[in-house]
Structure 1
Amino acid sequence: MDLEKQGRAPGAGRDAEGCLVVAIRIPVRIVVLVLVVPVRVVWDGLVVVGRVLRDAVLRPVGRGLLWVGKAVFVWPVVGLWRYVVVPVGTGLGWLGRVLVVVPAVWLYRNVLVALGHAVLWVAVPVGRAAMWVLRGIGTGITALGAGLAWLTRYLVAVPAGWLYTWVLAPVGKGIGWCVHGVWRGVVLLATGVWLALYWTLRVLLVLPVVALWRWVLVPVGRVLGVVAREVGDALGHAWRVVGRISLAVWRFLVGVFRWVVVEPVRWAYRTVLTPVGHVVRDAVLRPAAEAVRSVGRVTRQVLASARETARQTRADLRRALFGAPREREEVARREPGGGEGRTLGRSTTALTKD
């Protein structure tokens, strides 16, 4: 059975897993098997019902909704795009090209280009003169900047360098040495405080937590892991075993339903309803249909006779009131009579007739 199948030898598995695993496995699998049986039976029933609903209800309804969605949303949008938006866009593009692009191109070629050449012809001499003026101004500014740089160097930079070298640097070195000494003292004090706090926390918190983890939580976790693993394996084995049981149960229920309901109904339909239906068809329905067809034929004949009588009555009244209509005079026919047919030896056409 699936409960006994393992990937290794039974003896080796027991020796490797230990007595605790073996003691937990069998009760857990029995309890899980008892709990999983109704769940698996109900699950298989729901799966069958879901498949029937999917094939008989949801797929046709989905196809109908898809067709309705296409008819309501997709096809109108496609028709609007194809027969309204595209033609209107094409027309607007043509109008934009005729009314905007072509005039703009003509204006650029015939007006703006000539105007640009004229402006360029006028602006080149003005630009050269402006460059000459700006070059002179730049030369003056350069000379002024050189003078200001010389004054700044000898009035600011040289005194500042002397002040930094002979005043600020010695004072800064002294302040740095003092700060370094103070920092070393602070570091030593902080190190002592940290070591005291570290060993205090280690002794009061870390070592108890480590002992609790190593000697309590780890063994309990291993036991719980074994229990969880065995429960998972038991669920898997029970689900497969109960699948076979569920299949047998549903087959039995289907067989019972077939022999209790379907077969009696089929026997009653074949043995009772079909002969009764044939008798009713032959003794009642067919004679009734023949009688209805006969009544229909008689009714049509009576209506035809009544229409013919009414037609004759109207003709007699018209003849009594307005007289008989004049007979049409026969027009002389140019064709020979029925007894005188055309032959190869006689010519009776309009061209050869006397």
Structure 2
Amino acid sequence: MDLEKSAPAARGDAPPGGGCLVAAIRIPVRIVALVLVLPVRMAWDALAVTGRFLNDTVFRPLGRALTWAGRAVFVWPFVGLWRYVLVPLGAGLAWLGKVLVVVPALGFHRYVLVPLGHALAWAYARVLTPVGHGIMWVLRGAGAVCAAIGLGTYAVLARLTRYLVVVPWVWLYTWILTPAGHALAWCGGGLARLAATIVTGAGTALYWITRILFVLPALALWRRLLVPVGRVLAVVAREVGDALAHAWRVAGYVSLVVGRFLGVLFRWVFVEPVRWVYRSVLTPVGHVLREALLRPAAEAARAAGRATRSALAAARASVRQARADVRRLLFGAPREPRPVDRRKSPLGDRREPTGRGTRTLGSSTTALTKD
């Protein structure tokens, strides 16, 4: 697909808006880019395959082992410490804190502070409140007397302040300070207008000097030199980028073909001979070994096992017979069981023993001593 898209460029047909410059730059740049990018792409693909192989065979199992080891070394001991040491210790400390601090504090609050607070409230309501009312009545009377004296003093001081301070300052402000301020304001406005005129003229002169000496030459340099050079560099950069992308894709196809060729070569050089040796040599040899050695050995082992089990069964039977003979010699032959009339017993043979045959705590139940 990419080769078909790049076919017009290889024939020299420029895309719309490209021009001759694009057609002259594109083909050499793409050839050079392909020559430079192809080894890099093949090395990159080789590293990617090696990385995936190492990740699947080494790093992932190693990471799982390290994760398990980290859990065993760091996580599980702390979990056990938290669960079986800190949590019970915290519960014990909480119980001790409750018993030693909370319960005494609650008792102190309930049986000391609450009655003391009630006593203080009663004293406040019965003693301090009447005393406070009396003090407030005395202070209210003294305040009324002081207010009458203060009002008279304030009236005298207000008249003196008006005729000695306010009236002279109003006359001074009206007939001296106001005309002087108007004169100073008119002089300041004239000076400000003069300074503004001077600054405006200087700014205009500096503007035209800066425009003629710096702005117009810089604008001409930008329009006549930098913009065309920038456009050429932009075209070159775009073509170089397209060439690198195209070369990367073509190198990917080449690397894929080389990788498949190496895979097929490895298969026919190593895998297929090993498979043929396994199928044609090792499998028949394994079948012969199985039929000639392993199967007869297994049959012999099974026969030996059966003989061993038969011998063990005979030995167990002999030991059982010898034990019965010894018990008969020591305690005599066991009594014959009496026949039971099944018509009289609704439970048949499943009845409890009665009389002497009933088991008690003092009777023995071993095979050598029971009656």
Shift of 1:276: 6.5
Q: Any conservation in 1 of the 2:30–2:243 contact (CA below 8 Å)?
A: yes
The residue number in structure 2 matching 1:251 is 260
Q: 1:149 to 1:75 in 2, by over 3 A?
A: farther
Partner of 1:87: 91
The structural deviation recorded for 1:231 is 1.6
Q: Distance in 1 between matches of 2:223 and 2:127?
A: 96
Would you say 1:60 and 2:61 are equivalent positions? yes
Letter in 2 for 1:57: V
Work out the CA distance in 1 between the residues paired with 2:268 and 2:213. 78
Q: Indicate conservation of the 8 Å contact 2:41/2:251, yes or no.
A: yes
Which residue of structure 1 lines up, in the alignment, with residue 129 of structure 2?
Answer: 124
Residues 135, 206 of structure 1: alpha-carbon distance in 2 compared, 3 angstrom cutoff: farther
SS at match of 2:208: helix
Aligned in 2, Cα 1:167/1:132: closer, same or farther, shift over 3 Å? farther
Q: Which residue of 2 aligns with 1:104?
A: 109
Q: 1:145 to 1:228 in 2, by over 3 A?
A: farther
In structure 2, relative to structure 1, the CA distance for the partners of 1:264 and 1:332 (3 Å cut) is closer
User: Which residues of 2 match residues 36-51 of structure 1 at below 5 A?
Assistant: 36-51=37-52
CA distances 1:82-131 after superposition (whole Å, capped 9, x unpaired): 44245145425533431223422433322222223313432212332343
Q: Tell me the residue number matched to 1:184.
A: 193
1:213-224 superposed matches below 5 A: 213-224=222-233
Instruction: Assess, with a 3 A threshold, how the Cα gap between structure 1 residues 40 and 133 changes in structure 2: closer, same or farther.
Output: farther
Identity of aligned residues (%): 55
Q: Counterpart of 1:53 in structure 2: which amino acid?
A: L
CA–CA distance in structure 2, aligned partners of residues 52 and 150 of structure 1: 107
Q: Residue deviations 1:6-45, cap 9 Å, x none?
A: 8x9x999634322222222222222212221111111112
Q: 1:15 to 1:330 in 2, by over 3 A?
A: closer
2-structure distance, mates of 1:179, 1:278:
123
Query: How many angstroms does 1:266 deviate by?
Result: 3.7
Aligned to 1:197: 206
Whether 1:29 aligns to 2:36 is no
Q: How far is 1:189 from its partner?
A: 1.8
Query: What is the TM-score normalised by the length of structure 2?
Result: 0.69
Secondary structure of residue in 1 paired with 2:271: helix
Q: Which deviations, in whole Å up to 9, do the C-alpha atoms of 1:129-161 show, x marking residues without a partner?
A: 343455456553663566655544444333333
Query: Which residue of structure 1 lines up, in the alignment, with residue 335 of structure 2?
Result: 337
Decide whether aligned partners of structure 1 residues 203 and 133 sit closer, same or farther in structure 2, where only a CA change above 3 A counts.
farther
Per the alignment, residue 211 of structure 1 pairs with 220
Task: Provide the rounded CA distance (Å) in 2 between the counterparts of 1:25 and 1:39.
Answer: 21
What's the TM-score once normalised by structure 1's chain length?
A: 0.71
Counterparts of 1:122-201 in structure 2, within 5 Å, are 122-136=127-141, 139=144, 140=146, 143=151, 148=157, 151-201=160-210
Distance 2:80 2:162 in 1: 83
Q: Which runs of 5+ in 1 are unaligned?
A: 298-328
The aligned counterpart of 2:2 is 2
Q: Is the 8 A contact 2:14 2:23 kept in 1?
A: no
Distance 1:155 1:69 in 2: 94
Q: Quote how far apart the aligned CAs of 1:239 are.
A: 1.9
Counterpart residue identity of residue 237, structure 1: H
Q: 1:115 to 1:15 in 2, by over 3 A?
A: closer
Q: Match for 2:5: what amino acid?
A: K
Cα deviation, 1:156-213, whole Å, max 9, x if unaligned, reads: 3333332222222211221222222222222222222222222222111111111111
Counterpart position of 1:325: none
SS class of match (2:5): coil
Q: Which runs of 5+ in 2 are unaligned?
A: 306-328, 343-352, 358-371
Q: In structure 2, how many angstroms separate the alpha carbons of the residues matched to 1:75 and 1:148?
A: 89
Distance 2:275 2:157 in 1: 121
1:124 and 1:146 mapped to 2: Cα distance?
A: 38
Letter in 2 for 1:240: R
How many residues align structurally? 314
